[in-house]
Amino acid sequence: MDRRETSRQRPIPNLFIVGAAKCGTTSLANALSRHLQIFMSVKKEPHYFVTKYKTLPLCGPGDKTDYISSEDEYLDLYRDGSDATYLLDASTEYLYYHTCAEDIYRFNPDSRIIIMLRDPVQRAISSYKHLTRDSREKRPFDESLALEEWRIEHNWGVLWRYKDLGLYYEQVKHYLNVFGRERVQIIFLEDFNRNQEETIRSLLKWLDIKYEDITSKRKDNIGGVPSFSLKIARLLSGVPIIRKIGKAMISEKAYQRFVERNIQQVEISPEIKNKLREFFTHDIQQLEKLLECDLSHWYK
């Protein structure tokens, strides 16, 4: 069935945050979902377009298993968004599996693409902290980096690819080639954190929709070592009746404060950071030329 034929029957996504993972995409997606002209399904990351590039199930501890491979199921996520100007799919693996660009273009050539990037060293560390927080990563960072190729060969998920996921140049270049620069918006997490309001205003102008204050001070997906209390809370939240009672009694903001208080920072040695910077240097230089921007702060 031709996807554009299907699209005339049901509303289809036309706005994609394609990545990169651990670059602030969750915060941006949550902000955009608050805009009256943007609809995001409850399932933020359907990952529909990557399924043909992956071997499922994945083999890493706790790796994601709920990828959507059915077009009908995918479109059903957006059945309530017919009144919105934009229907948002915020699946961060689309950038890493950058040949998804052609699939998205064939699906809807009028789509707009948002790419969020950050210092690849900090991105790698954030990914490590994320997996440590969820008690999935058990090894020190240097050992995890040494195991990366083995984990890729044995079909572990993309979050374990601390180095490979941060090689942005080819990924970004591919999307620019497929969609053209006018349909791709690059956002740097450093700019988003420094002035979220200005970044949002510029983005909404690019989308040609009215400005609304959709900014938030909330920090999503904080990484680090969970305390014993947080581990117990997460264990209990897996029990349906307790999860239901918890949602009724504890506000989202209160739970967020609890998480922030119960995450211990992971320290990474300067030596490991320097090795990572050497690894990423050439790719950053290529990205600077491609985007005609100054990324000198990423070398420090």
pLDDT of amino acid 221: 52
Q: What is the mean pLDDT of residues 263-284?
A: 91
pLDDT of amino acid 19: 93
* pLDDT band of 265, cuts 50, 70, 90: confident
In angstroms, the Cα distances linking 191 to 195, 197, 210, 220 are 6, 10, 21, 17
> For the chain, what percent of residues have pLDDT higher than 90?
74
CB 204 within 8 A of CB 36: no
H helices present in 38-119, as ranges: 71-76, 93-96, 100-107
Query: How far, in Å, CA of 116 to CA of 82, rounded?
Result: 27
Tens digits of residue pLDDT in 106-145: 999 999 999 999 999 999 999 999 999 888 999 999 999 9
231 or 288, which is more confident:
288
The pTM of this model reads 0.83
Half-sphere exposure of 233 (CA within 13 A, CB side): 15
Domain ranges within the chain, ordered by starting residue = 3-221+270-299, 225-264
Q: What is the chain's mean pLDDT, rounded?
A: 87
Instruction: Count CB-CB contacts under 10 A for residue 60.
Output: 18
Structure-block tokens of residue 147 = 């195991």
225 or 279, which is more confident:
279
Give the single-character DSSP code of 115.
Answer: E
- Weakest-pLDDT range from 11-25, 160-174, 245-259, 280-294: 245-259
Burial classification of residue 49, based on how many CB atoms lie within 10 Å of its CB (0-12 exposed, 13-18 middle, 19 or more buried): buried
Tens digits of residue pLDDT in 149-166: 999 999 999 999 999 999
Q: Residue 226 contacts by C-beta under 8 Å, 6 or more apart in sequence?
A: 133, 134, 135, 234, 262, 263, 264
- For residue 66, pLDDT over 60 is answered with yes
Instruction: Give the architecture (CATH level 2) of 3-221+270-299.
Output: 3-Layer(aba) Sandwich (3.40)
- For residue 202, pLDDT over 80 is answered with yes
Query: Which 3-state string (H, E, C) describes 171-197?
Result: HHHHHHHHHCHHHEEEEEHHHHHHCHH
* pLDDT band of 9, cuts 50, 70, 90: confident
pLDDT of amino acid 245: 57
